[in-house]
Amino acid sequence: MLERKFRLNKKQEYKKVFAKGFRYVSRLVVVYIVKGRSVEQSQIGFIASKKVGNAVKRNRAKRLMREVVRQKKTVFKGPCLMVCIARSAITRASFDDVEKSLCYMWKKGGIL
């Protein structure tokens, strides 16, 4: 599980990322990233809407994304704020597919 200090918790934090962040889209996940000096440490939030499916599918989607972030957070180039949003195709994806998708978008965003 991701430590509390690495999580986005408040609605205002999510709004800040959506307003100032750059969006990167793949088939499985949408990622908003804010890089900069104003960020002290990396913080990450996860969203899975009802479009993804029922509660079981939404929770699985968030668990997959959290696990990828937990394994890769040490290789981020610097602190950033990030929101990962699951898309409906993630319900049929494996862990490796989600990992490849997120890593590709992080490289595009310049944080990996």
Q: Which residue has the tokens 């972030």?
A: 69
Quick one: CA dihedral 78, 82, 87, 93, positive or negative?
Answer: positive
CB contact at 8 A, 35 and 78: yes
Specify the DSSP class assigned to residue 32.
E
Helix intervals (H) in 1-112: 11-20, 55-72, 95-109
Q: What Cα–Cα distance (Å) separates residue 106 from each residue in 10, 50, 52, 58, 81?
A: 23, 25, 22, 22, 12
CB contact at 8 A, 31 and 105: yes
Q: Provide the residue-wise pLDDT of the chain in tens; the chain has 112 residues.
A: 778 888 999 999 999 999 999 999 999 999 999 987 667 788 999 999 999 999 999 999 999 999 999 998 888 888 889 999 999 999 999 999 999 999 999 999 888 8
